[in-house]
Structure 1
Amino acid sequence: MRRIAPLAVLALAVVAVPVVIAQAPGAPGAPDKTRVTAGTYAADVNHTMVVWEVDHFGFSKYTGIFGDVSGTLVIDPANPAASKVDVTIPVSKVTTASAGLTGHLLRAGKDGGKPDFFGPAPADAKFVSTRVVLDDDGDEAKVTGKLTLNGVTKDVTLDVDFHGAGTNPYNKKETIGFQAETTIRRSDFGITMAIPAVSDAVELEIHAAFEKQ
C-alpha cells in the first residue's frame, strides 16, 4: 500500500495537469489585425523599451536598455500606411547589468572634455516616423523616420512586426504591441569612444505597447 499510494497520487497529477492547462485563460492579446481600431494610442511606458547590443572586444555581445519610452501612435486599419509614430527615449535612464558601466555611460568627460559616451545630462533621443511601407500580409512594415540622438538627426528604417492586439484586462484599454529591429552606427551620432574595440554598429531591438486614448 505504501508503494501504491505515491503512484496513485502521481497518476492523479498527470491526469489533472491537462485539465488545469485547459482551464487556464489565454493571453488577452493576439496577432489578429481585426482587433486593431483607429485612433491615437499612447506608449505604455512600463512595457515599452529599446534594447541595444554592441560587440565588446570581439569576445562577447553586451546589452543595455533604454526604458520609460513615451510617445504616440496614430493608426487607422483602413489606411495603415498613413500611420504616424512619435516617441521619446530618455537616454539618461539607460541601464546595464553593471552599475559601473552604467555610470561610465553617463559620466562627464575627463578634465572638462567631451564625455566618453552620453555624459551626465544627455538630451532625450527622439524618433519621428516619415514613411510606412507594409508587406502584402499587412503584419510587417518598414518604418522610416528621423532619429535624433546626441544632438544629431539621421534617417533610420525599422523592420517592424505586429505582435498583438486586444484589451488590457487591468485598465480595460485597447492595446497594440509591436517589435522592431534596426542597426545604427554610433559614430554617425558623434559617439566614437573605443571604436573598433567596442563595435561602431549597435543593434537595436524595440518592444513597444501602445494604449488607445
Structure 2
Amino acid sequence: MQVLSKTALGVALSAAFTTGVLAKPVTYQIDPDHTSVVASWSHFGFSNPTATFDDASGTITYDSGDVAASSINVTIPISTADTYVEKLTEEFMTESYFNTDKFPDATFTSTKVVDKEDGKLEVHGDLTIKGTTKSIVFDAMLNKQGQHPMTQKPAIGFDATTTIMRSDFGVDEYVPNVSDEVTLRITTEAQASK
C-alpha cells in the first residue's frame, strides 16, 4: 500500500510538471541577432515590398503554467529600417514618415495574453509609433521553449503577425496608392540569464 501511494504521488507530480501546473514564470531577454521585424505593404497593387527593422530589445516573460500571466515589452529602433530602396529608406527617417529625430523608437507593451492552445497565442497590447499609441493584437505561435544548445541557457522563440493602418500612427504618405494597411511579421529568440 505504501509503495502504491509513493507511485501515485510520483505520477501526480510528474503530471503536474508536464502540464506546467508547478511551472514558474521565466523572463527572457530578446536576442537582437535572432529577431527580425518585417513590414510589408501594397505598392499600387502591383507588388508587396518589405522593410526590415533590426536591433530589437526587451523582455518576454512566459509562464507555461499560467499563460495569461505572460507579458512582452519590446523596443525597435526605427533608424535601423531597410527598405532595400536607398531613397525610400532615407525618406523613412524624415518628418513626413517616421520623424526619427523626434521619435527614434517604436515600442510594444502587452496588456493581455490569451492562450489559444497548441502553442497559439493572442497577444494584446499597445503599439507606439511616432508618438501615437494604439491597441493591437498579434497572432503568435510558440515555436520552442527549452535549453539553447549553444549557450546552455533557457530559451524561447515565437513568430507573430498583425496588421495595422499606418495612418493611425501619422505615417500616411502616398495613401491610398501605397496601402494604408501594413502587415507586421516578427520572429524572435530570447534567452534567460541562467
Q: State the distance in 1 between where 2:54 and 2:37 align.
A: 7
Shift of residue 136 of structure 1? 3.4
Shift of residue 118 of structure 1? 1.3
Q: State the distance in 2 between where 1:150 and 1:49 align.
A: 20
Between stretches 142-151 and 117-126, larger displacement belongs to: 117-126
Task: For residue 145 of structure 2, give the secondary structure of its aligned residue in structure 1.
Answer: strand
Q: Say yes or no: does 1:98 pair with 2:85.
A: yes
Question: Is the CA contact (8 Å cut-off) linking 1:123 and 1:151 kept in structure 2?
Answer: no
In structure 2, what is the equivalent of residue 131 of structure 1? 112
Task: For residue 117 of structure 2, give the secondary structure of its aligned residue in structure 1.
Answer: coil
In structure 2, what is the equivalent of residue 210 of structure 1? 190
Could you tell me which runs of 5 or more consecutive residues in structure 1 were left unpaired when the two chains were aligned: 1-32, 108-114
Q: Say yes or no: does 1:46 pair with 2:24.
A: no
Q: State the distance in 2 between where 1:145 and 1:38 align.
A: 19
Change (3 A) 1:171 1:156: same
Q: State the distance in 1 between where 2:69 and 2:137 align.
A: 16
Query: Taking structure 2 as the reference length, what is the TM-score of the superposition?
Result: 0.83
In structure 2, what is the equivalent of residue 22 of structure 1? none
Structure whose CA Rg is larger = 1
Query: Taking structure 1 as the reference length, what is the TM-score of the superposition?
Result: 0.76
Question: Is the CA contact (8 Å cut-off) linking 2:164 and 2:182 kept in structure 1?
Answer: yes
In structure 1, what is the equivalent of residue 69 of structure 2? 82
Shift of residue 207 of structure 1? 0.5
Which residue among 131, 150, 153 is the counterpart of 1:173?
Answer: 153
In structure 2, what is the equivalent of residue 4 of structure 1? none
Question: In the comparison of the two structures, how many residue pairs are matched?
Answer: 173
Per-residue displacement from partner, 1:51-77 (whole Å, max 9, x unpaired)? 000101111000011111100011221
Question: Is the CA contact (8 Å cut-off) linking 1:55 and 1:62 kept in structure 2?
Answer: yes
Could you tell me which runs of 5 or more consecutive residues in structure 2 were left unpaired when the two chains were aligned: 1-18
> Post-superposition, which runs of at least 4 consecutive aligned residues in structure 1 deviate over 6 A?
none
Q: State the distance in 2 between where 1:119 and 1:150 align.
A: 7
Shift of residue 97 of structure 1? 1.4
